[in-house]
Amino acid sequence: MGTSGRGRVFLVGAGPGDPGLLTLRAAEVLESAEVLLYDALASDAIVAFAPATCERIYVGKRAGDHAMPQDEIERLAIERARAGSRVVRLKGGDPFIFGRGGEEAQALAAAGVPFEIVPGVSSAYAAPAYAGIPLTHREYAASFTVATGHEDPGKAVSSLDWSKLADPQRTLVLLMATANLREIANELIAHGLAPQTPVAVVQDGTRPSQRTVLGRIDSIADDVAAAKIGAPAVVVIGGVAALRTQLRWFDNGALFGKRVLITRAGEQSGEFARALLARGAQPVVAPTIAIVPVDDTSDADRAIDDLASYAWLIFTSQNGVDAFFARLAAKKCDARSIGATKVAAIGERTAARLRTHGVIADLVPAEFISEEIAPEVIARSSPGNGVLLYRAQDARDVLPQMLQDAGLIITIVPAYSTVIPPDAQFAQKVSEADVLTFTSASTIRGFVALLGDIPASHAASGKCVACIGPITANAAAQAGLTVDVVAPVHTTVGLLDALELYYATRT
């Protein structure tokens, strides 16, 4: 161990791919990782749990393509732990189920390096579940067996007992079996399994790229070859496989498999990406804006010092709320500084962010746009009342103009600014997407700028363009985009609901 005395290795199961199946302990360990050694089957969304300061080392192994030999992986984990680092060895599925986790734990124990095992959800049962296949069912199977279809090539004789595996009363689950599927099927039939026994092969289980082939044991190898099913895949053999036709739930949603471009700021894309994954879509994170603080905070500080003089404090976004409370904290103040000033929030998400700071908005308009909040503020105010508007530096002037025309005295504080982050791969990400989503007019401007010489209309050709509301849709139209979906409820959830309805009505 290193001089810090805190070096430790965590053997963590990443689960089958869906980040929603990551355990709480696994997420906790990942978030404190200093060195991350991760496998090919650990999804990008799960690797992203590690902090930006974490040293990430890819050690994945695919058939015939090993990024790093097994003994080198073990040596590296031991070396980094002895240097005092918190090392996370992230393995697909569960580290102790066909993942060589036992061997790695033995190496750590022999080296005297402290370690912890964090179990993960195994693809052995998760992939069938996401394909609508229960491994046990009172009418078909009271038990199941999990075996590898790819034994240690150094073995002279297989240790699998085919006579016991060919049991029609028990579900057989095989991992890493696609390459040997024809031989496996022949062995099972030769040992008594009926040729018509149902079989399902699930590739990329729990992911938006999941594909399933359902067939019979005597022809499944040909079916899988025709469908070009490859690794990683789980093979389910037995009567329960046929239940997929009734219980299919994950891969039949309207958004399943759709690649959806997320253009909002990177730090705000996580929740949207997780919501897409939950609906079977593949998020493509490609921020067209980044939120940065303003260089000069003197206007914000003066407004905070004079909060008591304002009748209303209006927030137009979560970013404005964050910027406001950041300035309060810098001045060693908190929500009590708001005092008797009424607070208005455009959008339920903005109101929710206020609640995290202990502030309940006095006004949240039914429609989440600036034009809706103005009449309600005006109706509850008197001419000459002061209104403090905390918003983006480059926001539209519609709201302050409406309030000013009603005789209110408006103070605008530029709380934050939006910039366009560089992305050399942006055009490629757009070309690979099926759906382009936009959550503000600024994301449209960033989209156009990042495309450079490529016309926005050309980049969006053949793709669904979805906007969070009419103002964003209008900006998209002005940029030459044909808008297919405008969310009636101006939230990311509303946008996803509208997208699902759009695709559901097209099938």
Task: State the DSSP H helix or E strand holding residue 152, giving kind and residue range, or none if neither.
Answer: none
Closest by CA to 166, choosing from 143, 144, 197, 188, is 188
Q: How far is CA 435 from CA 64, 131, 285, 448, in A?
A: 35, 24, 12, 16
Q: Please, where in the chain does CATH 3.30.950.10 lie?
A: 125-247
Tokens in use for 47? Answer: 């690797």
Side by side, the strands of the sheet bearing 198-203 are 143-148, 170-175, 233-237, 198-203, 211-216
| Minimum mean pLDDT range among 185-189, 318-322, 396-400 | 396-400
> What is the mean pLDDT of the segment spanning 110-136?
97
Q: Please, where in the chain does CATH 3.40.1010.10 lie?
A: 8-121
Tell me, what amino acid is at 3? Answer: T
64: left (phi over 0), alpha (psi -120 to 50) or beta: left
Most confident of 193-207, 356-370, 396-410: 193-207
Does the annotation mark 68 as catalytic? Answer: no
Mean pLDDT of the chain: 91
Which residue is listed with tokens 């965590």?
Answer: 10
Task: Tell me how far apart the alpha carbons of residues 73 and 101 are, in angstroms, rounded to a whole number.
Answer: 11
CA geometry: angle 417, 419, 422, nearest 5 deg: 160
- The catalytically annotated residue of 18, 39, 167, 204 is 39
Tell me, what amino acid is at 304? Answer: I
pLDDT per position as a tens digit, 86-117: 999 999 999 999 888 999 999 999 999 999 99
- The catalytically annotated residue of 91, 94, 167, 176 is 176
Q: CATH number for the 8-121 domain, one of 3.40.1010.10, 3.10.20.30, 3.10.129.10, 3.40.50.300? A: 3.40.1010.10
Task: Tell me how far apart the alpha carbons of residues 447 and 289 are, in angstroms, rounded to a whole number.
Answer: 8
> What is the mean pLDDT of the segment spanning 383-388?
93
Q: What is the CATH number of domain 292-419?
A: 3.40.50.10090
DSSP string, 241-305: GGGHHHH--STTSTTTT-EEEE-S-GGGHHHHHHHHHHTT-EEEE--S-EEEE-S--HHHHHHHH
> What is the mean pLDDT of the segment spanning 270-282?
90
Assigned fold of 125-247: 3.30.950
Q: Please, where in the chain does CATH 3.40.50.10090 lie?
A: 259-289+421-504, 292-419
Task: Tell me how far apart the alpha carbons of residues 256 and 173 are, in angstroms, rounded to a whole number.
Answer: 25
pLDDT band at 82 (very low <50, low <70, confident <90, very high): very high
Task: Tell me how far apart the alpha carbons of residues 227 and 213 are, in angstroms, rounded to a whole number.
Answer: 8
Does the annotation mark 91 as catalytic? Answer: no
Q: How far is CA 419 from CA 34, 99, 288, in A?
A: 30, 44, 8
pTM score, whole prediction:
0.78
CATH 3.40.50.10090 is the classification of domain 259-289+421-504: yes
Secondary structure letter of residue 430 according to DSSP: H
Does the annotation mark 152 as catalytic? Answer: no
- The catalytically annotated residue of 1, 61, 362, 497 is 61
pLDDT band at 154 (very low <50, low <70, confident <90, very high): low
pLDDT value at residue 203: 97
| Minimum mean pLDDT range among 157-166, 222-231, 466-475 | 157-166
pLDDT value at residue 367: 67
pLDDT band at 4 (very low <50, low <70, confident <90, very high): very low
Under 8 Å between Cβ of 336 and 306: no
pLDDT exceeds 70 at position 345: yes
Tokens in use for 2? Answer: 């290193």
